[in-house]
Chains A and B, each alone.
Chain A
Amino acid sequence: MGATTASAPPPRAESSMSTRRVVLRFVLAFVGGYAFSAAVSNALAVVLARAGLEPAEAAVLAGMLGVLIYLPTLLWAFAARRPRQAALLLLVVGACAQLLASQWLPEQPPAMQVG
C-alpha cells in the first residue's frame, strides 16, 4: 500500500511513522507478542510433558523459554516492514499453538506428592 505516510512535520529519522501507527506497532509487539509467546510456551509445555519429561520440569522449562521467545518476537513485530503480515503470522501460528496445547493434554493428570 505504498510507503508509510509521514505526519504533517517533515519526516525525521526519529518518527517516520505517525503516532497512530507507532501505537499500533506497540500493541502488536507487546500484546500480540505476549499472546503469541504464551501460546507457543503452552504448546511447548504440553509437548515436552507428552515426550516424557516430568510434568513440573516441562512446565518450568516452557515458562523460561516463553520469556526467551517473547523478546525476539517483540523486536521483530515492531520492526517488521509489513505489520499486517506480521500480525497475521502471529495470529495464525499462535492460534495453532494454543489449539495444540489445549487439545493435546497429557493422558493422566500428574499425581500429587504423597507423604
Chain B
Amino acid sequence: MALLHSWVGVVLGGVLFASFWMGTLSVFGREIDRWMMPETRLAPTPLASLDQLLAGRLALHRGADCTVRLPSDREPILVWHCNDGEPERLDPLTGRALAPAQTLGASGFIVPFHFNLRLADAGTWLIGFAAMGMLALLASGVIIHRRIFRDLFTFRPRKALLRSSLDLHAVTGVLALPFHVLITLSGLILASWIYFPGTWEHVYQGDAGAFTRDAFGGHWREASEESTRLTRLDDMLAEADRHWGPGSVLSLDLRHVGDAVGFVELHRASPERVSGGLERLHFDAATGARRADFEGRPLARVQRFIAGVHLLQFRHWPLRWLYFSCGVAACITIVTGFICWLEGRRERHAPHRTDARLVEALTVGSVLGILLATLAFFVSNRLLPASASVGAFERPELEVAAFAVTWLCSYGHAACRGRAAWERQCWVLGALALTAVLLNWYTTQDYPHRALARGSYGVAGMDALLLLATAVAWRCAQHLRRATALAITAAGEPVALPSAHQL
C-alpha cells in the first residue's frame, strides 16, 4: 500500500494538483468571470420582459437553434447564443448588448482545464485516470495511516521539513477526507457515461441521442419548412413560474426558431436543491401550448444528485466557502505529499543526484508553475486591452499564451536553479498577485470600497483573496530565505535545507 501510494502520487501528482487547483478556482468561477469581464459587473436586476430583449434579435436567426441563459445573482447578465452566430451578452435592465468580452474567463478556461486540461478527449481520459488514482491514493493513504487519530492531532511545524510536511499532509488529508472522497467520486460518476460508454452503447446499440434523451431529457423533431410568427417567451416564463415557483427558470432552449414545428424547452434552476439540470418544461413554439414535461426517472435523478454534489449549482454561501477551503486543503495535501517524497529521497540519496533534481524541478513546475501561470492569466487579462491582437492571435489566445509561457518558464527556471527556485518563484507569485489587484483597480476603478458599495462582492472577494495570496507567498519566501541563509552561514556553503527547528 505504501508503494501504491508513493508511486501513484509521484506519477499523477502533477495532473491531480492541476485539476484540484483549477477545480478550487471553479468554485468561484462566476465571480472570477465578473473580475475578468468588467463590463459584466452589473447590479443584479430582475428580468422585466424577455420578449422585449430578444424579439428583434431572434428574428435574425430564423431556423437556428438558440440557447438563452437568464440572469442570476452571480451572473447578472443575459447570455444568448444561436448556433449560427456568436454568443452575445445583454444588460437585462436596458437590453443593450455588452461589448464582446474578448476573454475566455473562468467558464471558458479554468473550468474546462479542470476536467480535461483543455486537451479535449485525451485530457478527459487523463483526468479520469488521475481521479481514479486519487481514490486509490485516498484508500491507500487511509490504510497506511491506520493510526489516524493519533496522527490527526500531531502537527510539528518546528521539526525537520520531512516530519512537518508529513504531519501537514496527514492533517489536511484526513480532516478534509470526506470532501476528497466525495468530490473525486462525484466527478467520476458525473461523467460515468463518458468513461463507461459501453453501458449505454450496448443497451442502445450506439444511439447516443436516444440514450441522452431517455435518461436526461431532451426532445427532438425535424424542422418543417413552414415558418410562423415568433413565439412569445414571456408567457412560457409565467407558466414556469406558476408550475415551479417564481424565478425558477435557468435557461431556455429554442429549437427551429420561427418554424411551424419549433419548440422551446425551459430548464429548471434549483438553487435550493443539490441536484439540478433534469426538469424541463416543453412548449410548442407556434401555439405556446405546454406539452410533456420531463422529470427524470429515479436512477437518473440519483446520478444527477451525485453530479450536483460536484457541480455546486445550489445557492449556499457557507457551503461554497467550505468547498473552496477543502479544495485548498486538497492542494496542500498534494504539495506536502510531493515534499515528503522529495525529502525522503533526499535523505536516502545524495542531494545532487540527477533524478532527485529532475523530480524537484518537475514538482516546482507542477505546483508553483501552475499557480504562477494562473496569475499571469489574470494579469494579462487586465494588462491587455480587449482589442489587443498580435498577428492572428486576439486577446483570448494571448491570455492562454501568457499562461502557457509562464508555466514553461517555471519549469525551466526550476531546472536551472534547483532548490532555490522554491523561494524565487514564491516572491514572483506574490508580486504577480499584487500586480493583478493593482491592475484591476487601475483599469476598472473598482477599489474595494467602491466594489462593495456597488454590490460587486465577487470582485471585492477576488481582490481580497489575491492580496491574501500575496501575503502568504511572501511569508513563505521569507521563511525559505531565512532557512537557506542559516544553512549557508552554518556550513560555509549551500546545503540542503536544515531542520526548521534551528531557526
Contacts and interface: CB of A to CB of B under 8 A. Distances in A.
A109 B192 contact: no
Contact of B2 (A13, A54, A61, A102): A13
Contact of A105 (B133, B205, B210, B292): B205
Interface string B322-365: 00000000000000000000001000100000000000000000
Nearest to B131: A67
Contacts of A67: 185, 188-189, 192, 195-196
Contacts of B293: none
A89 to B, nearest CB: 19
Given A38-B196, A59-B193, A113 B211 contact: no
A101 B205 CA distance: 11
Contact of B6 (A14, A57, A62): A14
B196 A58 contact: no
B83 to A, nearest CB: 20
Interface in A7-36: 12-17, 22, 26, 29-30, 34
Question: Interface residues of B: mostly helix, strand, loop or mixed?
Answer: helix
A42 B2 CA distance: 32
Contact of B215 (A60, A70, A71): A60
Interface residues of B, number: 50
Contact of A60 (B7, B205, B300): B300
Nearest to B212: A56
Question: Interface residues of A: mostly helix, strand, loop or mixed?
Answer: helix
Nearest to A101: B202
A60 B220 CA distance: 21
Given A57-B299, A59-B211, A60-B299, A22 B202 contact: no
Given A63-B200, A75-B140, A113 B192 contact: no
A75 B140 CA distance: 8
Nearest to B7: A22
Contact of B203 (A14, A15, A30, A110): A110
A74 interface: yes
B499 interface: no
Point out which of A30, A34, A42, A60 has the most chain B C-beta atoms below 10 A from its C-beta: A60
A64 B303 contact: yes
Contact of A57 (B220, B291, B298): B298
A112 interface: yes
B341 to A, nearest CB: 9
B139 A113 contact: no
Nearest to B304: A60
A14 B3 contact: yes
B199 interface: yes
Contacts of A71: 132, 135-136, 139
Nearest 9 pairs of A and B residues by beta carbon: A63-B192, A56-B214, A59-B200, A56-B215, A45-B199, A66-B196, A42-B198, A62-B199, A57-B299
